[in-house]
Amino acid sequence: MKLRRQASYCGACGALLQWLRLLAAPSLSPCVPLSLKLSLFALLFVGLPFDVFAQDLAVTSVRVYPTPEAQPTDGATVLIHAGKIASVGQNVRIPAGTPALTCPKCVAFAGFWNCHVHFTEPKWNDAAHQPSDKLTRQLQQMLTHSGFTTVVDTSSDPNNTVALRQRIESGQAKGPRIYTAGAALYPPSAIPFYLQDLPPKVLAHLPQPGSPGEAAAAVRSNIAAGSDIVKLFTGSYVAHDRVVAMPLPIAQAAVNAGHQNGQLVFAHPSNLQRVRVAMRSGVDVLAHAPDTVGGVDTDLLRQLIAHGMALVPTLKLFSGESDIVRIREIVFEFHRLGGQLMFGTDTGFLTDYDMADEYRQLSLAGLTYRDLLAMLTTAPAARFKVADGKGRIMPGMDGDLTVLQADPSVNGVAAFSHVQYTIRSGRIIYRAP
Ligand SMILES: [Zn+2]
């Protein structure tokens, strides 16, 4: 039980502590108006000599899986022009001067997503001013070496993560597309016990809306800081054995504010009560499988699916717990009943960046390599409403590719974590040594 509880603290955990320390630094809490930020962002791009994410590239002699369901094509070429997939197949003519990668034993998939990460370790501090090559190296070690071309940060210091994103989007650092939640919202007067010894100044920065109006304001504040999604703690561990739930009207107001601004809402479930608050308030995505499994039954899973909710299992996080077999059963049953799973690992909270155990746990749950491929590509693209540009290898789609050294259908799901190239819009953002 103790192990489980420690694991489930995730988003308000040690990682959060790290960014809260950052927040306490006077130089890192700039109250820059959104309009000014947008102007600076526009100026940044106007001043660029070229579009860093509109490159040409040909990946040749590879096996291509255009979608999770389709049969692969061997000896294929994927031609990317100006950052978009121009053609794919066995008889693609490569224009003279196009950079080419030839990799006869490799397998190409649409770029992978990781839907649960955190940019909260101290090494991300002051991302606005870190050397570009250091940021690129850190992004490769944490994310792009695993093939991730898009990631979802489910709580961090929005000022710092937005700065990191700007360094990437300006071409200074090579990294994935980042969606960020900014600061998570907590229940009123229910700071988790493991944060209660923080300095009052730091605690004051934890959004704990006490009314529906305050909840909506907290969401708007995150949006002004540059967030893309909402993250709720629909309950808080105020003691080892006591969870305080977020009042339903407050959760509903936060969800409504997010939805009114076109944002998805993520929540940490942990136990049955928190799952119900998330479901009744209209949350879109559970950022973990429920790890306190009592009362989580088929009827509840059917209700979650009826509410259109998706689930990010993060099974590696729970792999050492006594209930891991039941947690895997819940994940598989959710899938079997038609629920949407998305791949995510809590990377950043977990500082072991190896993805192999997540793939292994998902396989042990009963999911096939095609199920995993959908979790990595088409499912998140659909949930984030970008399926017209991401998730498949088709002409007109973004030139985001994850090129593996071997085929998971032949070599097992461990092959998912052996990446040769990570390519974003035709730009190579990681290549294996
Ligand atoms: Zn997390």
DSSP one-letter string for 311-356? E---GGGGTTSTTHHHHHHHHHHHHHTTPEE-----BTTB-----H
- Give domain limits for the chain: 2-50+112-390, 55-110+397-433
- Residue 287 Cα to ligand 1 middle (Å): 7
pLDDT class of 199 with cuts at 50, 70, 90:
low
pLDDT tops 90 at residue 4: no
| Strand 112-117 with 148-153, pairing | parallel
- Residue 61 Cα to ligand 1 middle (Å): 38
Distance CA 161, CA 226 (A): 9
CA 284-23-158 angle, 5° bins: 35
pLDDT at 21: 42
Distance CA 141, CA 137 (A): 6
- Residue 227 Cα to ligand 1 middle (Å): 16
pLDDT at 193: 82
Q: Write down the residue that tokens 């259109």 correspond to.
A: 308
| Strand 107-110 with 148-153, pairing | unpaired
Listed residue (299, 277, 294) closest to 286, CA to CA: 277
Number of residues written out for the chain: 433
390-422 core/surface letters (b: 16 or more CB in 10 A; e: else): bbbbeeebbbbbbbbbbbbbeeebebbbbbbbb
pLDDT at 271: 81
- Residue 117 Cα to ligand 1 middle (Å): 6
Same fold for the pair 2-50+112-390 and 55-110+397-433: no
**pLDDT per residue as tens digits for the range 292-321:** 888 899 999 999 999 999 999 999 999 999
Other C-beta atoms lying within 10 Å of the C-beta of residue 352: 9
- The answer to whether 150 and 179 have CB atoms below 8 angstroms apart is yes
Distance CA 181, CA 19 (A): 13
More reliable by pLDDT, 161 or 244: 161
Q: What would the mean pLDDT of 204-218 be, rounded to a whole number?
A: 92
- Residue 100 Cα to ligand 1 middle (Å): 38
pLDDT class of 40 with cuts at 50, 70, 90:
very low
**pLDDT per residue as tens digits for the range 116-172:** 999 989 999 999 999 999 999 999 999 999 999 999 999 888 889 999 999 999 999
**Which superfamily does 55-110+397-433 belong to?**
Urease, subunit C, domain 1 (2.30.40.10)
When mean pLDDT is compared across 210-214, 242-246, 375-379, the lowest value belongs to 242-246
Q: What would the mean pLDDT of 199-204 be, rounded to a whole number?
A: 69
pLDDT tops 60 at residue 35: no
Q: Which CATH number fits domain 2-50+112-390: 3.40.640.10, 3.30.70.1170, 3.30.750.24, 3.20.20.140?
A: 3.20.20.140
Q: Indicate the helix (H) or strand (E) that contains 63.
A: strand 57-64
When mean pLDDT is compared across 48-57, 179-188, 350-359, the lowest value belongs to 48-57
Number of alpha helices (DSSP H) and beta strands (DSSP E) in the chain: 15, 18
Q: What is the pTM of this model?
A: 0.88
Q: What would the mean pLDDT of 64-73 be, rounded to a whole number?
A: 97
Listed residue (260, 180, 277, 264) closest to 216, CA to CA: 260
Distance CA 110, CA 376 (A): 9
More reliable by pLDDT, 47 or 255: 255
CA 60-66-70 angle, 5° bins: 130
Q: Is 80 helix (H, G, I), strand (E, B) or coil?
A: strand
pLDDT at 204: 75
When mean pLDDT is compared across 37-41, 243-247, 294-298, the lowest value belongs to 37-41
- Residue 116 Cα to ligand 1 middle (Å): 6
**pLDDT per residue as tens digits for the range 355-412:** 999 999 999 999 999 999 999 999 999 999 999 999 999 999 999 999 999 999 999 9
CA 137-390-335 angle, 5° bins: 100
DSSP character for 51? -
- Residue 52 Cα to ligand 1 middle (Å): 30
- Residue 315 Cα to ligand 1 middle (Å): 12
pLDDT tops 70 at residue 13: no
Sort residue 23 into left (φ over 0), alpha (ψ -120 to 50) or beta.
alpha
Percent of the chain whose pLDDT exceeds 90: 74
pLDDT at 244: 85
When mean pLDDT is compared across 191-200, 297-306, 324-333, 416-425, the lowest value belongs to 191-200
pLDDT at 68: 97
Q: What would the mean pLDDT of 55-78 be, rounded to a whole number?
A: 96
Q: What is the mean pLDDT of the chain?
A: 87
pLDDT class of 291 with cuts at 50, 70, 90:
confident
- Residue 11 Cα to ligand 1 middle (Å): 4
pLDDT tops 70 at residue 112: yes
Distance CA 80, CA 54 (A): 9
pLDDT class of 30 with cuts at 50, 70, 90:
very low
- Residue 150 Cα to ligand 1 middle (Å): 16
Q: Write down the residue that tokens 């977020």 correspond to.
A: 246
More reliable by pLDDT, 239 or 96: 96
Q: What would the mean pLDDT of 231-250 be, rounded to a whole number?
A: 86
- Residue 153 Cα to ligand 1 middle (Å): 8
pLDDT at 202: 62
pLDDT at 240: 75
